[in-house]
Structure 1
């Protein structure tokens, strides 16, 4: 099947999902019951991003046109170990495997076992003659290559366990944001969405801010207060309360709002409800800092202060495009060269 066939098939799936319906509503409700972090609001937010960015026929065609290859390709069985930190986070990997002409052998996260089988299962309605090349498994076996996503700890295990296969192994990363003190109110509100969407659990959530030495946090905190409704979620509130108590016990300076605690910290990754910040002297030194932590950073939010680092706009971290690959590794290039 050609790549353009998949653009049409996946585009039709996106158009179908836009219509919603009782089956979709039931799947969303059930997934939310199985995992309290997956609120129905968060699931629908993730689904909208997938439909608009990944399941749009025109966008799929433009993306796939960059990967023209000559000669016949062998269909491989590609094992994928998916994360479950936010809803349907593995959708892009599945789309890449299908579009590359391979068969997907998927090990789902225990945290997200409902949504992806439902979404791709809807292909039986939008492409009834298609034998869907996806197998959902508990253990990967009889595979030719692997794409695995997990924590820093699991990545060590994955590299050892899958060493005999061609592989992409991903580990913990977070997003960071660059502020210069001239951001608009709308930009700061959009930054709040980058920080608080999915309760900050995604690898593309902003966990750290870089600010100039004379930065005034007042306007930022006003924007962050718009997200205090996150504290209505009991698990999130419990985590924020615990992490704040730890900071207080350790007598670490901090400030913030009811739902957002800011602390000065060199680390990129932060705990739930905690946002790290660091001061920078000038943009040249900041660029060096970002380069030194490149293996921990998923994406960088800001205006165009550092064009060498490919910044993305405020509010866009959880709306990745098809060519914005996790960890900066081109998944399609990997799959097409097997």
Structure 2
């Protein structure tokens, strides 16, 4: 299959996703939610809206053209261990494999099987040639290369089994926000989206904020009150109640607005329903902290004009096609196999 044909097929998949509505979307989102109750209809809609931005013909062409793929490249079979923390989160890896002309042997996450199955079956309906290029497998043995996403613990397992093959093995990462004290209420509201979207389950969700002083915290809590409906979700509420009880029993200092707990902590990854914060003294000390923890940070959210290289407030879950997980260029890895 030619690159042009692959791009056209994915662009048509994007069109198909954009027209998904009514009873068909209701049925699909119901199946996805039955598979994982964290995946509410709203979260499925948000995830699929993000895919629409990926799957535009112009975006795909602009993304892939600089790599100058070799049309005579011998296809390899790539084993994919997909993550399942948010709906369709593993689709980008699948897209990278197929757009470069390789074959994908996919091990689905038990937490997110329905969304990927629907996307793949729809892609095959659009372009039947993909039927020979994608398989779903329980055991990924003897593949030419591997891309595996998981936790720090599972990465050791992946490295043991896949380390002798060309591989990308991803570990735990999270995202942080950096505030300078000049934020407006609308900035805090947008930051709330970075914190709460997908219930905070994604590696691009903000789990910690760096602040110049504690006075900011009240403004933040006031602004994110709009997200209080999260407390109606039973799993989120269970996490909130559990963490609150632990802090109260142990007498640990924290702030509480009824659905979010703010706690001072030097760690990056906070539990669901908890946002860690840390006060920095000056920009030099802040930059030192960011550098020390760079291998654990997926993205930084801030005022881009003040903190170059960051994502604007509210944009953490809006990566471009070239915003690769862990900063590893997946296309270059696949191109050079």
Q: Report the counterpart of residue 326 of structure 1 in structure 2.
A: 325
8 Å CA contact 1:3, 1:64 repeated in 2? no
Provide TM-score, normalisation by structure 1: 0.95
CA shift, 1:201, in A, is 0.7
Q: Report the counterpart of residue 152 of structure 1 in structure 2.
A: 152
Secondary structure of the structure 2 residue equivalent to 1:78: strand
The CA deviation string for residues 94-122 of structure 1, in whole angstroms up to 9 with x for no partner, is: 00001111011100011111111111211
8 Å CA contact 2:2, 2:71 repeated in 1? no
Provide TM-score, normalisation by structure 2: 0.96
The correspondence of residues 259-274 of structure 1 with structure 2, limited to 5 A, is 259-274=259-274
CA shift, 1:23, in A, is 3.9
Secondary structure of the structure 2 residue equivalent to 1:324: coil
CA shift, 1:250, in A, is 2.0
RMSD over aligned CA atoms reads: 1.5
The correspondence of residues 56-71 of structure 1 with structure 2, limited to 5 A, is 56-70=56-70
The correspondence of residues 164-313 of structure 1 with structure 2, limited to 5 A, is 164-213=164-213, 215-304=215-304, 305-307=306-308, 310-313=309-312
Q: Distance in 2 between matches of 1:273 and 1:70?
A: 47
Structure 1's 19 and 214: CA in aligned 2 closer, same or farther, altered over 3 A? closer
Q: What stretches of structure 1 of length at least 5 have no aligned partner?
A: none
The CA deviation string for residues 254-281 of structure 1, in whole angstroms up to 9 with x for no partner, is: 0031111100000000101000000111
8 Å CA contact 1:283, 1:306 repeated in 2? no
Q: Distance in 1 between matches of 2:129 and 2:73?
A: 22
The CA deviation string for residues 147-198 of structure 1, in whole angstroms up to 9 with x for no partner, is: 0000110011111111111100011110000111111222211110100011
Q: Report the counterpart of residue 45 of structure 1 in structure 2.
A: 46
CA shift, 1:318, in A, is 1.1
Q: What stretches of structure 2 of length at least 5 have no aligned partner?
A: none
Q: Distance in 2 between matches of 1:138 and 1:130?
A: 20
The size of the alignment, in residue pairs, is: 335
Q: Distance in 2 between matches of 1:282 and 1:176?
A: 17
Q: Distance in 2 between matches of 1:269 and 1:149?
A: 17
Structure 1's 132 and 18: CA in aligned 2 closer, same or farther, altered over 3 A? farther
The correspondence of residues 1-40 of structure 1 with structure 2, limited to 5 A, is 1-21=1-21, 22-40=23-41
CA shift, 1:71, in A, is 6.5
CA shift, 1:70, in A, is 4.5
CA shift, 1:214, in A, is 5.7
Is 2:333 the counterpart of 1:337?
A: no
